[in-house]
């Protein structure tokens, strides 16, 4: 499997409190990769490192086959980027912002840019400083898409947008991905949004990658189990035990990752009995994952 | 690419450029206004030179102010967005800096040409006493050089982060503070003087700002 983004042993420090250390990430080419994490977990910093906007202290970053920062102009020419905060010049108009952006990208697609302008109902003569948050979000997405990138890096692109605008922006994104086999790396703390569109997920917290796996495995693999007569020491489990809590008396609730039905045999082997397997949705799984990461089982 | 960089910089600094062009055209014209009259022969040559010299102080001031504003305006929108947009564009950083530098330098040509035109108009309209000569082109070239030197210096400082600019200004402030304290303590150490000499006396880069800026001279 080839990777549009590959990060190994990344090390970066900002100030005295925040650090990314031993960070590794692999984004398969053509995937829709959801980059999940709570606010302040380091998602935006990681994205800025990927795009060469920040310099790491160590490690290796490869994007679209090029090394960061050595090949960064070539990488950026093939990458559409929507940052977390609006970054465009507020004094120019929508039409001028499009012309400015187009001047830097040989792959810029004017007919499609015009289509998106109409689709997003953007007034070409409006100054960017006068645009609403939703309109600015649409324009940022328009600029990223109309350059026809091989890789889209979207940093919380729908954060703070109303549901209608969010739907428009995501629809345009999915439309593009269906036309072109582009890779999308999208960060968000809105778990349900990513659940609908992504096929891979990476979870980041406190500067570390907590988990990285196909979305289906993530959704199916995290379960809550009701276990009667559980062993004091779980021993060598065939799944990853994230947390165990006493429910009542001899009944315990186990949160596990990597669960598959045949693994129920494990409980018979240790003298316990599995009473119930509860599916967790992505958000619950995400919360459990972070909880375990922050309070590791002793 | 360069056209769009030039366009944005024009958009951000057009008011400064327009006002500077008007001032640059008006300065030489106003400096000789009194000498266009028929009774100019009554004027003493010395008085004319003194007047021209007094007006001449305004040329380097205008050059420095123009350069300061155009250089600062070239970077302020990028500073405001913490350079995220500029850095995400697919050009090497040095290339982007050169594009912005070049665009600003081209915009500065407007006020320089206005000054040249104003100087030509002024010297044509004025009655120049025998023994004196007009130097409109020399004055315009000197103005152009002063503007470009100041623009280059200020552009270099403002192209960095606020921290870099802070270091530069901090170093200057520390130098002045040291000089003041040394003088107060009657310690015979002078740093600022030699530094200023290095900067403003030939072959210092700011030498162009010193001396007399004469539209009409012997």
pLDDT for A41-80, tens place per residue?
889 999 999 999 999 999 999 999 999 889 999 999 999 9
- Strand pairing report for A251-257 and A223-228: antiparallel
Residue B61 has pLDDT above 80, yes or no: yes
pLDDT for the residue B42: 54
**Residue B27 C-alpha from the chain's centroid:** 14
pLDDT band at B24 (very low <50, low <70, confident <90, very high): very high
pLDDT for the residue A216: 81
Name the nearest CA neighbour of A88 among A58, A116, A47, A128.
Answer: A128
User: Per mean pLDDT, which range of A285-294, B78-87, B178-187 is the poorest?
Assistant: A285-294
Put simply, the answer to whether A52 touches B12 (Cβ < 8 Å) is: no
Which among A73, A83, A91 is the nearest to B84, CB-wise? A83
Residue A128 has pLDDT above 80, yes or no: yes
Q: Which has more confidence, B27 or B209?
A: B27
d(CA A212, CA A26): 8
pLDDT for the residue A194: 82
What does the mean pLDDT of chain A come to? 87
User: Per mean pLDDT, which range of A35-44, A73-82, B151-160, B203-212 is the poorest?
Assistant: B203-212
Q: List Cβ neighbours of B115 (8 Å cut-off, separation of 6 or more).
A: B24, B25, B27, B28, B59, B139, B140, B143
pLDDT for A178-209, tens place per residue?
888 899 999 987 787 788 888 898 988 888 88
Chain B residues with CB under 8 Å of A72 CB are: 92
pLDDT for B42-52, tens place per residue?
556 777 888 88
The two tokens of residue B134 are 């007009």
Which among A74, A76, A85 is the nearest to B89, CB-wise? A76
Put simply, the answer to whether A104 touches B8 (Cβ < 8 Å) is: no
Put simply, the answer to whether B4 touches A73 (Cβ < 8 Å) is: no
pLDDT for A83-106, tens place per residue?
988 888 889 999 999 999 999 999
Best A89, A101, A150 residue to mutate vs chain B (most B CBs within 10 Å)? A89
Q: Judging by beta carbons within 10 Å of its beta carbon (0-12, 13-18, 19+), is residue A189 exposed, middle or buried?
A: middle
Best A15, A50, A53, A69 residue to mutate vs chain B (most B CBs within 10 Å)? A53
Please give the share of chain B, as a percent, with pLDDT higher than 70: 96
pLDDT for the residue A236: 84
Q: Where are the extended beta strands (E) located within chain A? A: 3-14, 18-28, 32-36, 58-63, 66-68, 79-82, 151-155, 183-188, 200-205, 208-214, 223-228, 240-248, 251-257, 273-279
d(CA A102, CA A110): 8
Chain B residues with CB under 8 Å of A86 CB are: 81
Put simply, the answer to whether A100 touches B4 (Cβ < 8 Å) is: yes
Interface membership of B193 toward A (CB under 8 Å): no
pLDDT for the residue B36: 62
Which among B11, B82, B85 is the nearest to A91, CB-wise? B11
d(CA B31, CA B56): 8
By a Cβ cutoff of 8 Å, what residues of chain A touch chain B? 51-53, 72-77, 81, 83, 85-92, 96, 99-100, 103-105
Residue B184 region by backbone torsions, left for phi larger than 0, else alpha for psi between -120 and 50, else beta: alpha
The two tokens of residue A227 are 């276990």
Residues A88 and A54 sit within 8 Å (Cβ to Cβ): no
pTM of this prediction?
0.82
pLDDT for the residue B26: 93
pLDDT band at A298 (very low <50, low <70, confident <90, very high): very low
pLDDT for the residue B102: 95
ipTM: 0.80
- Strand pairing report for A208-214 and A200-205: antiparallel
pLDDT for the residue B40: 55
Q: Region A118-140: what's the mean pLDDT? A: 90
pLDDT for B63-120, tens place per residue?
999 999 999 999 888 888 888 888 899 999 899 999 999 999 999 999 999 999 999 9
pLDDT for A227-271, tens place per residue?
988 888 888 888 888 778 887 777 888 888 788 888 888 888 888
Please give the share of chain A, as a percent, with pLDDT higher than 90: 38
């Amino acid at each position: 499997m080839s990777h549009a983004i590959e990060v190994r042993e990344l090390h970066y420090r900002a100030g005295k409190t925040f650090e990314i250390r031993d960070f590794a990430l692999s984004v398969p080419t053509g995937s829709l990769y959801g980059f999940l994490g709570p606010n302040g977990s380091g998602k935006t910093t990681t994205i800025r490192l990927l795009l060469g906007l920040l310099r790491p202290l160590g490690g290796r970053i490869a994007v679209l086959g090029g090394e960061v920062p050595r090949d960064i102009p070539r990488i950026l020419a093939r990458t559409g980027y929507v940052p977390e905060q609006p970054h465009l010049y507020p004094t120019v108009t929508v039409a001028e912002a499009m012309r400015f952006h187009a001047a830097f990208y040989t792959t810029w697609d004017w007919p499609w840019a015009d289509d998106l302008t109409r689709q997003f109902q953007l007034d070409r003569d409006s100054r960017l400083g006068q645009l609403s948050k939703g309109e600015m979000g649409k324009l940022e997405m328009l600029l990223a898409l109309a350059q026809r990138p091989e890789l889209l890096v979207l940093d919380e692109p729908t954060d703070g947008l109303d549901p209608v605008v969010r739907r428009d922006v995501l629809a345009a994104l999915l439309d593009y991905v269906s036309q072109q086999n582009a890779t999308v790396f999208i960060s968000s703390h809105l778990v349900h949004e990513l659940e609908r569109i992504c096929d891979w997920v990476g979870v980041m917290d406190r500067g570390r990658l907590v988990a990285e796996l196909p979305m289906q495995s993530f959704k199916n693999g995290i379960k809550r189990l009701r276990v009667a007569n559980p062993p004091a020491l779980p021993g060598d489990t065939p799944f990853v035990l994230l947390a165990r809590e006493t429910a009542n008396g001899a009944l315990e609730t186990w949160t596990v990752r990597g669960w598959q039905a045949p693994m129920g045999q494990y409980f018979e082997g240790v003298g316990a009995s599995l009473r119930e397997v509860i599916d967790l949705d992505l958000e619950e799984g995400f919360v459990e994952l972070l909880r375990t990461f922050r309070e590791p089982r002793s | 690419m360069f056209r769009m960089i030039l366009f944005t910089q024009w958009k951000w600094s057009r008011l400064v450029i327009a006002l500077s062009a008007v001032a640059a055209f008006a300065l030489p014209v106003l400096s000789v206004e009194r000498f266009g009259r028929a009774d100019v022969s009554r004027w003493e040559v010395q008085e004319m030179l003194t007047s021209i010299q007094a007006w001449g102080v305004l040329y380097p001031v205008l050059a420095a102010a123009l350069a300061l504003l155009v250089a600062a305006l070239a970077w302020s929108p990028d500073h405001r967005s913490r350079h995220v947009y500029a850095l995400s564009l697919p050009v090497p950083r040095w290339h982007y800096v050169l594009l912005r530098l070049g665009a600003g330098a081209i915009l500065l040509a407007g006020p320089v040409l206005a000054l040249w035109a104003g100087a030509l108009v002024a010297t044509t309209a004025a009655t120049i006493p025998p023994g004196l000569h007009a130097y409109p082109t020399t004055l315009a070239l000197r103005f152009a050089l002063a503007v470009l030197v100041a623009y280059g210096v200020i552009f270099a400082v403002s192209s960095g982060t606020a921290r870099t600019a802070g270091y530069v200004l901090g170093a200057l402030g520390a130098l002045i503070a040291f000089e003041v304290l040394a003088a107060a303590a009657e310690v015979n150490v002078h740093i600022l003087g030699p530094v200023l000499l290095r900067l403003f006396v030939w072959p210092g880069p700011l030498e162009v700002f010193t001396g007399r800026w004469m539209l009409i001279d012997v």
